[in-house]
Chain A
Amino acid sequence: MSAADNTPNNPTHGAPAGAAPEPSRRGFLRMGVNAVAGAAALAAALSPLRDLDPDDAPSLEEFFQKHYKEMSAEEKQAALARIAEQVRRRFKLPADRAVNVQDPPPMDGVEFVYALNVSRCIGCRKCVHACAKENNTSRSPEIQYIRVLQMQKGSIDVETSEHHYDPIKIPDHQAYYLPVQCHQCAKPPCVKVCPTEATWQEPDGITVIDYDWCIGCRYCEAACPYWARRFNFGKPQIPADELNLDMAYLSNRPRSKGVMEKCTFCLHRTRRGRMPACVEVCPTGSRKFGNVLDPDSEVAYILRHKRVFVFKEEVGTLPRFFYYFDERGSRYHEPIEVFEPGEST
């Protein structure tokens, strides 16, 4: 029954039966009160926005900023200056701390490849923390690009791995360690699925993200077979005294909430010839990095001479991250058995 209860006998032809009749003062007042109440409720519903941090709202320049690949050199310079200013403001840096935001281009004739010696990794996780410090990742909520897996001896199945090991001493002799980070795949599924092309692969092999373009849909995070991509669910918190102020647009400048990030092989270092932070801190020297196109590089030697395998090769993403193993391994507590000729083993 849709008949209105007021003035049912409206004889005017063509007027909608059950529609509001000719306006009366009472009807107008009713409508008014309801409208005011509705508006008040809507305003109250929107009230949490009063806590919105003005830094979180994009500035006009940021809103109209083009995609990284479309920016001219001047626009890039303007963006870098804006970012430096934002970092200074956000972390309340004193004037004497130099903020350096650059945009190093990829080097010609360079394709970066990473190799990790599974025989030598002891699972100490220094790489995890050095990376977090170098790349200004959030400390709370915690974001770490590298995840070290303690794998059971004899199994490459990650279902049997342990991420949260914390023994008194590592290495655990019943395990081996597999640190995983972004493999900068040659056929990256994350690049394939990004709807706005906010992530792409650069000529030197690094898959990068334009943090000012990403819409935060997290499709890339679902697509990555190596669980290498991270999302800023909350506003990233970094203590100002631990900030690394040598930054690049595409790698370690502080991000906002709601965007993706991941390992970029420290391109702010590596595109200037330096080693990534994880390589420099590894106590056993298990991590190897370099230009695979250079036949004299460490990584080219490894790929030629070592027993190399690719993690989850079957997904077909052609990673640029290779695990290898060589003689002996993390079993130094065992005495070397001497083989006497003539003795049966």
Chain B
Amino acid sequence: MDKPGHRLTLLPVDRGTVRAVIVSLVLFALAGMLWADLWRFTSPVEPRTRVPAWATDIATVRQPSLRPEIEIVGFTYRCSTCHRLFPPRPTTGRTLTQHRDIVLKHGINDRCLNCHHPENREAFVDDKGSEISYDQPQLLCAKCHGPVYRDWTHGVHGRTNGYWDAAFGPVERKLCTACHDPHVPPFPPMRPAPGPNTLRMGDQRRFHARHEEQENPLLIYQRPTSRDELDEKEHE
């Protein structure tokens, strides 16, 4: 190496200094890039799914008034308003001329007076012909739906709102008509609330691989029947 005294007047360009300068420049360049946030983070989080208000609403699907009333052209009338004017007909099974908007699809129960009291239209009728009050529909349904009624009394059928512990508050058992339209009792099909849209979920369109359906023994051995095809069309 040269004697130090010789080159003091010129810039020090020995290899060590060059190396140090290169390293420093590289580090400063990196510092600049990082400070400028060159690889910033872009969030993959999607905006929240719009959840319709009904999806969190605890109201039951029906809100029956539990009063013997009917609404006609915006006015509410008690059943007796009309029915005290007309004497009860002895024959049954005739075609309705009023209340034609009510469709009765209650399985094999196709006779109105199986449920409605023949004399007092503001009440229901029980097995022996006595009246069941309009606000006690469960006693009426219990006439035929014994096991379901038994479950209902124990809280196992139908919904319970409010409190599970009666010591803290009311245990609100929902009545039958809060869910079931007495004339068309099956629970109505509905649109489901929005499905999951979790972080980085990817494309979740169902990949119907033949493989998976073959894993289900029931589906392998079932052959579609004509009724199934009709149902498919109904659900389109």
Contacts and interface: CB of A to CB of B under 8 A. Distances in A.
Interface of A: 5-8, 24, 26-27, 30-31, 33-34, 36-38, 40-41, 43-45, 47-48, 117, 122-126, 128-130, 132-133, 139-144, 147, 152-155, 157, 159-160, 162-173, 233-234, 237, 239, 270, 272-275, 279-285, 288-291, 297-298, 301-302, 305-306, 326-327, 330, 332-336, 338
Contacts of B31: 37, 40-41, 43-45
Interface of B: 1, 4, 12, 14-17, 20-21, 23-28, 30-35, 37, 43, 45-49, 51, 54-58, 60-61, 107-108, 147-148, 151, 154-165, 167-169, 174, 179, 186-187, 189-199, 204-206, 212-213, 215-219, 222, 227, 231, 234-235
A26 B218 contact: no
A123 B186 CA distance: 16
Contact of B190 (A24, A48, A170, A290): A170
Interface of A: prevailing SS: loop
Nearest to A7: B1
A208 B194 CA distance: 28
Contacts of A166: 192, 194-195
A258 B156 CA distance: 40
A43 B27 CA distance: 11
Contact of A233 (B30, B37, B199, B216): B199
B174 A291 contact: no
A130 B193 CA distance: 11
A280 B58 contact: yes
Contact of A142 (B33, B48, B193): B48
B215 A159 contact: yes
15 contacts: A5-B14, A30-B16, A36-B24, A124-B190, A139-B48, A141-B199, A152-B218, A160-B216, A166-B192, A170-B192, A275-B161, A285-B157, A288-B160, A290-B155, A301-B155
A40 B169 contact: no
A339 B1 CA distance: 112
Contact of B195 (A125, A133, A237): A125
A165 B51 CA distance: 16
B216 A48 contact: no
B48 A237 contact: yes
B218 A129 contact: no
A7 B15 CA distance: 12
Given A159-B212, A290-B164, A306-B156, 8 more contacts: A26-B17, A44-B31, A126-B57, A132-B51, A170-B191, A273-B165, A275-B163, A279-B159
A155 B231 CA distance: 21
